[in-house]
Amino acid sequence: MSTRDHPDWWRPVGGCNSQDSTLERRSLVWNDDGIEDGTIPAVFSQAGTYEGKFYTRGCRGMIEELQLYCIGDGIDTITLRYSPHPCLGPVGEVIITPAAAWAWQVLVIREMWNYDSLFIWVHECGGNVDWAYDTELPYDGHMSLDAGATWADANIRPFIRVVYTGETPGDVPVSGIVNNIPIPATSSLLLAENVLIDQNVITDIVLVEGAGYVDLVVCRSVLLEHSHRTAFMFYADGDLCLDWRMDTLDDWGFNDDTQPLALVEYAVDGDCTFMVTKRWEFRRTFLVRAYNALGGSFVYVHVHPNLMR
């Protein structure tokens, strides 16, 4: 007989209180050897980057702290980034300045985390900073050889911990349907103004790191010889998704009424501006570059990203 066949199947049994499923959990999420402050670890990474730790379930709640077992010189820093899983760009970032002794360094976060999984990795690391790990089971390490574009599993356990309050008792896994709950996002403005690009040099102008989408980009080259020959290129996760030169847009009949790509201002050797209102989605990076084969140019780029938070 199944539990549900019993007439009192819905009642709590064994002294359990139904409140257990509604009260918050407060916990330390960790997977290491329990090392304590002052202990020199058997294995550690010297200024290592793009290595991380993946907690796959039960991470939804309020992240109070990130903790890293490390040592430094009180000057050099180490940057940790975190996201829901290894295939996404950063949702958050913290910078640590470790002291000259092995210890758990605490970074206060105090932000709600709306995802069931959590991936934390070392993005940058000063030359005098070491951080600990071991090679014991269960492994949860991942590493990247291409600056986070792809990740491979590694047989290590980075010594990174997370302190939670308001942690949920567990989400019910659902298969076979699309989750239509909107992803929390934040909108912002990134801009680069009066940036000089040298002749015949492809120049990075604005870089957005994270996961989300861009729905408005404004690109402008200002009054200068050959300014109308300036080209702008957009890249989503490293893939080219737009490449237009100002004079080509004019030749093809684009104007201020040709949305989602509008040439709102154009003059030979003068001020030229185009605006893109198409939605560009990305998982790690969105990059705008500029290029002029015939001469140097001053450019302006405004990017409006909406990023996961």
Residues 269 and 231 in one domain: yes
Give bridge partners of residue 285 from the DSSP assignment: 209
Gap between the Cα atoms of 105 and 110, Å rounded: 16
- In a domain, residue 27? The reply is yes
Residues 192 and 159 in one domain: no
The residue to which tokens 């040592």 are assigned: 71
- In a domain, residue 1? The reply is no
Tens digit of pLDDT for each residue in 119-166?
Answer: 999 999 999 999 999 999 999 999 999 999 999 999 999 999 999 998
Gap between the Cα atoms of 22 and 28, Å rounded: 19
Residue 91, number of CB atoms within 10 A of its CB:
23
Q: Tell me what pLDDT residue 189 has.
A: 84
Residues in the chain: 309
The pTM score is: 0.79
- In a domain, residue 180? The reply is no
- In a domain, residue 279? The reply is yes
88-91's contacts with Cβ under 8 Å and 24+ in sequence apart are: 88/119, 88/210, 88/211, 88/283, 88/284, 88/308, 89/148, 89/209, 89/210, 89/211, 89/282, 89/283, 89/284, 89/285, 90/123, 90/209, 90/210, 91/210, 91/211, 91/307, 91/308, 91/309
- In a domain, residue 80? The reply is yes
Residues 189 and 86 in one domain: no
Residues 147 and 277 in one domain: no
Residues 254 and 143 in one domain: no
Asked if 119 contacts 140 with a C-beta cutoff of 8 angstroms, the reply is no
Residues 161 and 212 in one domain: no
Q: Output DSSP code: residue 75.
A: S
Residues 134 and 163 in one domain: yes
259-264's contacts with Cβ under 8 Å and 24+ in sequence apart are: none
Asked if 158 contacts 48 with a C-beta cutoff of 8 angstroms, the reply is no
**78-83 sheet: strands from edge to edge:** 92-96, 78-83, 118-125, 51-55, 141-143, 152-154
Residues 159 and 207 in one domain: no
Q: In which domain, by residue range, is 32 found?
A: 18-167
Domain boundary among 138, 167, 196: 167
Asked if 246 contacts 266 with a C-beta cutoff of 8 angstroms, the reply is yes
- Calculate the dihedral angle through the C-alpha atoms of 304, 305, 306, 307, rounding to the nearest 10 degrees: -150
Asked if 220 contacts 300 with a C-beta cutoff of 8 angstroms, the reply is yes
36 SS3 class: coil
- Tell me the pLDDT of the chain (309 aa) as tens digits: 333 333 333 333 344 445 566 778 899 999 999 999 999 999 999 999 999 999 999 899 999 999 999 999 999 999 999 999 998 999 999 999 999 999 999 999 999 998 999 999 999 999 999 999 999 999 999 999 999 999 999 999 999 999 999 887 665 544 443 444 445 566 778 889 999 999 999 999 999 999 999 999 999 999 999 999 999 999 999 999 999 999 999 999 999 999 999 999 999 999 999 999 999 999 999 999 999 999 999 999 999 999 887
Q: Tell me what pLDDT residue 25 has.
A: 85
Residues 192 and 239 in one domain: yes
Q: Tell me what pLDDT residue 304 has.
A: 95
Q: Tell me what pLDDT residue 18 has.
A: 52
The residue to which tokens 């010189």 are assigned: 73
Residues 163 and 27 in one domain: yes
In this structure, what CATH number is given to the domain that contains residue 89? 2.60.120
Q: Tell me what pLDDT residue 82 has.
A: 97
Domain boundary among 117, 133, 167: 167
Tens digit of pLDDT for each residue in 224-238?
Answer: 999 999 999 999 999
- In a domain, residue 271? The reply is yes
Residues 161 and 52 in one domain: yes
Q: Whole-angstrom distance between the N-terminal and C-terminal Cα of the chain?
A: 46
Domain count, the chain: 2
In this structure, what CATH number is given to the domain that contains residue 295? 2.60.120.1390
Residues 158 and 69 in one domain: yes
Strands 212-221 and 297-308: antiparallel
Q: Tell me what pLDDT residue 174 has.
A: 43
Smallest CA-to-CA distance from 94 within 71, 74, 110 is with: 110
Q: Output DSSP code: residue 16.
A: -
